[in-house]
């Protein structure tokens, strides 16, 4: 166990400043400008709070939970979930803020990440974080319940393997908001969690998670092994008048309006022209590939690249009626991009949280497309990749942000990059 740092367990009275990426706000212990940074959860900008330090490993910052609000911000609301609060469920970050305040916090974080990591002031380029239909609760189409070795269930606490015992999550759609009855049909074995996932079918899929095999870099756990024990093996989702089938454990946007919203924003951003050739990187089951293929028409084409075999198989079925679209199984790397036979007019990418990275960004700019469209689930990764584009003379010419994860700190962005002008 790590040795307690100098402030571990201490109660501090703090004036809370702006939001940090990850669902906390920054305060200073001691001098208001040069004091140690304290990342305070359960607080809002402008508040004065008493906060207990939860983690201090020395260095220039530590973490704390606001346990008493001395003076509250006007945006503060009573958290609708009884499990939200200091030391409780780690699934949500902003239950104590109104919806408008949550979106404003996310906008501040995006602007801040671009200033710090891309040295770019967004100004009017970002219009604010757009709301998705459906409100703050009841939106999650999948939920992973954690299981303890002794069989207890709940959701994980923040930065912890400990469980908050929970039977009902109000963020989930009503059909999956309650912990499932496991009535002996699920052989749980060494299960670490059970997941419920919904598509358009009436029954949810129930999946059992157990520890994956193999080794991962940097001591990370290998991805879980997933087993569907009840309900459909393949879930269906409707987007822009098409139905997509996706393995129950495969990637699909969790907010029911997200795939449609991001596809529309991406099409707006890159404005594909009939006859153009598009490269769709990190294509998943083809949620963006299909609308792009429809937009470029029979004289154009879309080539998707995706590393997960199951997603590639799903994409083949989902794109079967679009002869101008295909998804090939490959990892997106600088080398795989350099080996492409055809130069794309348009590149779109929708990478996982780590973003594309310097080498992939450089390789895709070297393909000299007319435009690059980027769907990003982490504004820090997007800002880092933007820095690479800007340093090569490319321009960020459009940026929209969507609150596809209400109550949490997560936010999705859709960006357009254009090559150096002239």
- Burial class of residue 210 in the structure, from the number of CB atoms within 10 Å of its CB (0-12 exposed, 13-18 middle, 19+ buried): middle
Instruction: Please report whether residue 284 would count as binding ligand SAM according to CB under 6 A.
Output: yes
For ligand SAM, the binding residue among 63, 114, 282, 374 (CB under 6 A) is 282
> 177 or 308: whose CB is closer to ligand SAM?
308
Regarding 240 and contact with ligand SAM (CB under 6 A), the answer is no
Q: What is the DSSP letter of 91?
A: S
Smallest distance, ligand SAM to C-beta of residue 289, A: 8
- x-or-dash string of contact with ligand SAM, 329-368, rule CB under 6 A: --xx-----------------x-x----------------
- State the DSSP string of 186-199: S--TT--EEEEE--
- The pair phi, psi for residue 381, each rounded to 5°, is -65, -40
From the candidates 25, 92, 377, 413, give the one annotated as an active-site residue: 377
d(CA 77, CA 94): 10
How many residues belong to the chain?
A: 422
Cβ contact 90:63 at 8 Å: no
Is 288 a binder of ligand SAM (CB under 6 A)? Answer: yes
For residue 46, the minimal CB distance to ligand SAM (Å) is 34
Return the biggest CA–CA distance within the chain. Answer: 67
- The stretch among 26-34, 234-242, 294-302, 307-315 that binds ligand SAM (CB under 6 A) is 307-315
Q: Which of residues 2-31 bind ligand SAM (CB under 6 A)?
A: none
User: If binding is defined by CB under 6 A, does position 308 make contact with ligand SAM?
Assistant: yes
Least separation, in Å, of the C-beta of 12 and ligand SAM? 38
- 254, 232, 236: which is closest to 244 by C-alpha? 236
212 binds ligand SAM (CB under 6 A): no
User: Which of 101/305 has CB closer to ligand SAM?
Assistant: 305
Which tokens go with 378?
């982490």
Using CB atoms, what's the residue nearest to ligand SAM?
A: 284
**Closer to ligand SAM at the Cβ: 51 or 248?**
248
CB under 8 Å to 175, separation ≥6 — which residues? 198, 204
The whole-angstrom separation of Cα 208 and Cα 382 is 33
210 contacts ligand SAM (rule: CB under 6 A)? no
Instruction: Provide DSSP, 37-71.
Output: EEEEES--TT-EEEEEEEE--STTEEEEEEEEEEE
Q: How far is the CB of 225 from ligand SAM (least distance, A)?
A: 16
Alpha-carbon separation of residue 97 from 13, 29, 43 (angstroms) = 21, 24, 9
Report d(CA 373, CA 128) in Å as an integer: 19
Q: Which span sits near ligand SAM by CB under 6 A: 53-61, 218-226, 283-291, 408-416?
A: 283-291
Q: Which residues pair with residue 29 across a beta bridge?
A: 36
CB nearer to ligand SAM: give 164 or 306: 306
Nearer to ligand SAM among residue 107 and residue 350 (C-beta): 350
Q: Which stretch binds ligand SAM (CB under 6 A): 24-32, 165-173, 282-290, 395-403?
A: 282-290
- The Cα–Cα gap between 329 and 305 comes to 6
Task: Count other C-beta atoms under 10 Å from residue 135's C-beta.
Answer: 10
Q: Smaller CB distance to ligand SAM: residue 252 or 394? A: 252
Q: Is 62 among the residues known to form the active site? A: no
Report the alpha-carbon distance of residue 301 to residue 274 in Å, rounded: 9
Identified binder of ligand SAM from the candidate list 44, 305, 327, 363, rule CB under 6 A: 305
Nearer to ligand SAM, 51 or 285 (CB): 285
Active site residues: 377
Give residues in contact with ligand SAM (CB under 6 A). 251-252, 282-284, 287-288, 305-308, 311, 331-332, 350, 352
């Amino acid at each position: 166990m790590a040795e307690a740092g100098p402030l571990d367990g201490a109660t501090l009275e703090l004036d809370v400043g702006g939001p940090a990426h990850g669902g906390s706000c920054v305060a200073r212990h001691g001098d208001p400008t040069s004091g140690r940074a304290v990342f305070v959860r359960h607080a809002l900008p402008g508040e004065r709070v008493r906060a207990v330090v939860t983690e201090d490993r020395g260095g220039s910052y530590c973490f704390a939970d606001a346990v008493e609000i001395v003076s509250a911000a006007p945006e503060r609301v009573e958290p609708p979930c009884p499990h939200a609060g200091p030391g409780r469920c780690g699934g949500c970050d902003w239950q104590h803020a109104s919806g408008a305040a949550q979106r404003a916090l996310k906008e501040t974080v995006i602007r801040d990440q671009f200033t710090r990591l891309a040295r770019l002031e967004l100004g009017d380029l970002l219009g604010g974080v757009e709301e998705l239909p459906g409100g703050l609760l009841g939106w999650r189409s999948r939920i992973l319940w954690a299981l303890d070795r002794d069989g207890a269930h709940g959701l994980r606490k923040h930065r912890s393997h400990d469980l908050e015992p929970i039977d009902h999550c109000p963020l989930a759609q009503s059909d999956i908001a309650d912990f499932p009855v496991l009535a002996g049909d699920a052989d749980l074995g060494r299960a670490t969690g059970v997941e419920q996932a919904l598509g358009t079918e009436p029954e949810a899929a129930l999946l059992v998670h157990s520890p994956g095999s193999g080794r991962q870099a940097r001591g990370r756990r290998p991805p879980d092994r997933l087993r569907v024990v009840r309900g459909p093996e393949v879930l269906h989702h409707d987007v822009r008048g098409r139905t997509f089938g996706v393995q129950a454990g495969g990637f699909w946007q969790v907010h029911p309006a997200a795939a449609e919203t991001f596809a529309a924003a991406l099409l707006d951003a890159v404005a594909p022209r009939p006859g153009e050739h598009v490269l769709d990187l990190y294509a998943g089951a083809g949620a963006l590939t299909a609308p792009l293929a429809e937009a470029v028409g029979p004289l154009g084409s879309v080539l998707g690249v995706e590393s997960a075999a199951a997603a590639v198989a799903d994409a083949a079925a989902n794109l079967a009626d679009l002869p101008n679209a295909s998804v090939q199984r490959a990892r997106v790397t600088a080398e795989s991009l350099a080996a492409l036979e055809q130069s794309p007019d348009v590149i779109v990418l929708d990478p996982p949280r780590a973003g594309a990275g310097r080498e992939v960004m450089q390789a895709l700019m070297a393909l000299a497309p007319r435009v690059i469209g980027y769907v990003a689930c982490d504004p820090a990764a997007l800002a880092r990749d933007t820095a690479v584009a800007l340093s090569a003379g490319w321009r960020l010419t459009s940026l929209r942000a969507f609150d596809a994860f209400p109550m949490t700190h997560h936010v999705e962005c859709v960006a357009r990059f254009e090559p150096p002008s002239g």
